[in-house]
Structure 1
Amino acid sequence: MSHETPLGDFLRARREALKPHDVGLPEYGRRRVPGLRREEVALLAGVSADYYIRLEQGRETSPSPQVVTAVATALRLDAEATDHLHRLCLDETQRPRHHRGDDVDGKLLQLMDGWARTPAFVVGPALDVLAANPMATALHSGFARFDNLARMVFADPAGRDFYQEWERAAHSCVAEIRAAYGFDPGSSRIAEVVDELSRDSDDFARLWRLHEVKGKSQEVKHLRHPRVGDLHIEFSAFTVNSAPDQQLVVYQAEPASPTAAAFERLRELIPAPTGAAPLV
């Protein structure tokens, strides 16, 4: 991870991703820097060039909310990236104190196990898989380990086949970790995962440098299981109230769809517990 300030890293990456024509500025001749110049961002944000330079260099760490919003507008940030920028400007005393354990509430585990036809699992901020029901374990059985979603996407060869839209899955994983990082820049676990994958995967390192931010949401995923075939699932993520750092991820199939039929075949692959009656 970078040795610069998180705020400066983010501003620099997002500034370099823009071209003058993206923000309505003229572009003359060859430019010596990628993207916008610092002075151009300062002009668009209505602050002095010296002040903006201090922000990027980490010499100004407490900008007002109004200045942060103006900079976000200048950089054409969406709502999630703007919220992330505001969080990066908080000091440690201003950050909410979240539950930071890996234990999953027992009642949530019971709920997940009761979903016999629905894959469900719980992930932490660094996308560690903290708990999973039998359907989720069976769904990811083609991986060497069902332990961390980012590692599975970038470091396990099975990821390229499992995620039919691999590039989209890769961007999502990195953007989700980046969003979690904004809530807790001092997280040792996030730093560990980022350092490991940056070292082992050029693709991860490339995407991490983009500073894209996106939390988990509702969307459609296109997967391919080695034994039951293609799956087009509806994906939802829910924050766990008892542990705000954790998220419950649920995969569902449209009723009477080929994916619903594939889920039934997947269910048949789950070994019955010793002495238990067959699944019905």
Structure 2
Amino acid sequence: MDRRRQLGEFLQTRRAQLRPEDIGLRVFGDQRRVPGLRREELALLAGVSASYYSRLEQGLSSNASPQVLGAIAQALRLNDAERRHLHALADGAKTQPTGRRPAPEKAGPAVRQLLDTLADVPALVLGRHSDVLAWNRAGHALFAGHVDTGGPNRPGQRPNMARLVFLDGHTRELYEDWQAKARAVVGTLRLASGRFPNDPALAALVGELSVHSAEFAGLWADHRVKAGDTALYQMRHSLVGAMTVTQQALRTEQDQHVVIATTEAGSPSRAAMTLLVHTAATSPDRSEPAIEESRAVPLPE
């Protein structure tokens, strides 16, 4: 993934989403040929020359200072997550790729101890491109009870949450507002692409999902990044029914994320979650995947 190109595309999509009236600019007639602000208008807002901003957006410049980036971010009205993403892309555009592959990921002993401690709380560990590195029994039961429990222990065959969200019918049915979950997944992958632009596995995942899911391709082209690490989802589990679940992602020192699912004390959702966790604790581990083909999203030929 070329960071200069990513930087330019990110700036362009954000500029296109700002309307002249958002910044108090008066527009006369319907003569605008581009969506959103023109480059020269954005440059004026940021206090930089139009030619310099154009080169930055076209991937022809890689020397933007933190001050200039801050001014552009303010002009584009970026949130904190988008600002960090902008700086990561700009910093990466200044350096040459090393050609070294990132080290294989694994969940360390301390993180596994945390999952064991959270035995009655669904939890899993996600790597930099959403591979499941580990999960406890409750986490497996909530997020992917229809796939092999031992999958995270086999590098190269690990479940991948992005694939499940976009290509697996069970996971799609799990979220009542599937679009909200899909946007969050793509936003997380966008952040990862800015931090790890030379990760071949991440590039391959994005390519695969872009080919097999038009919905993913559309969301990826929007260049949205995830704005927060906590989200509330209405989930409908095949075993226990509807639940309102808070999902929190805690980042580790290894740039992994521990995702924890909680419910409100005393609520019907807590009762349903307790039943699910109890069922998972008393059921034998599944050693083979058992995805029902009739409910999986078909892939194009």
Task: Compute the displacement of 1:194 (Å).
Answer: 1.0
Give the aligned residue type for 2:200.
S
Task: Compute the displacement of 1:131 (Å).
Answer: 0.8
CA gap of 1:141–1:183, structure 2 versus 1, over 3 A, is closer
Task: Compute the displacement of 1:124 (Å).
Answer: 1.1
Are 1:233 and 2:233 counterparts?
no
Are 1:48 and 2:56 counterparts?
no
Task: Compute the displacement of 1:215 (Å).
Answer: 5.1
Asked if structure 2 preserves the Cα contact closer than 8 Å seen for 1:179 and 1:215, the reply is no
Are 1:112 and 2:112 counterparts?
no
Asked if structure 1 preserves the Cα contact closer than 8 Å seen for 2:15 and 2:36, the reply is yes
Give the aligned residue type for 1:218.
T
Are 1:128 and 2:131 counterparts?
yes
Which residue pairs with 1:214 in the alignment?
Answer: 226
Which residue pairs with 2:152 in the alignment?
Answer: none
Which residue pairs with 2:74 in the alignment?
Answer: 73
Give the aligned residue type for 1:147.
P
Secondary structure in 2 aligned to 1:86? helix
Which residue pairs with 1:174 in the alignment?
Answer: 186
**Aligned partners of 2:217 and 2:97: how far apart in 1?**
30
Which residue pairs with 1:85 in the alignment?
Answer: 86
Can you list the C-alpha shifts for 1:88-141, whole angstroms capped at 9, x where unaligned? 11134799x9x8432111232133123231101000121111111111111134
**Aligned partners of 1:143 and 1:37: how far apart in 2?**
49
Which residue pairs with 2:143 in the alignment?
Answer: 140
Secondary structure in 1 aligned to 2:37? coil
**Aligned partners of 2:128 and 2:169: how far apart in 1?**
23
Which residue pairs with 1:5 in the alignment?
Answer: 5
- Give unmatched runs, 5+ long, in structure 1: 274-280
Asked if structure 2 preserves the Cα contact closer than 8 Å seen for 1:104 and 1:130, the reply is yes
Asked if structure 2 preserves the Cα contact closer than 8 Å seen for 1:2 and 1:9, the reply is no
Task: Compute the displacement of 1:149 (Å).
Answer: 1.7
**Aligned partners of 2:200 and 2:170: how far apart in 1?**
27
Give the aligned residue type for 1:121.
L
TM-score (norm 2): 0.82
Task: Compute the displacement of 1:2 (Å).
Answer: 7.8
Which residue pairs with 1:263 in the alignment?
Answer: 273
Task: Compute the displacement of 1:4 (Å).
Answer: 6.5
- Give unmatched runs, 5+ long, in structure 2: 149-157, 286-301
Which residue pairs with 2:256 in the alignment?
Answer: 246
Aligned length, in residue pairs? 271
**Aligned partners of 1:184 and 1:111: how far apart in 2?**
26
CA RMSD of aligned residues (A): 2.6
Secondary structure in 2 aligned to 1:121? strand
Secondary structure in 2 aligned to 1:158? helix
Give the aligned residue type for 2:87.
H
Which residue pairs with 1:19 in the alignment?
Answer: 19
Task: Compute the displacement of 1:224 (Å).
Answer: 0.8
TM-score (norm 1): 0.88
Give the aligned residue type for 1:238.
L
Task: Compute the displacement of 1:247 (Å).
Answer: 0.8
Which residue pairs with 2:294 in the alignment?
Answer: none
CA gap of 1:183–1:4, structure 2 versus 1, over 3 A, is closer
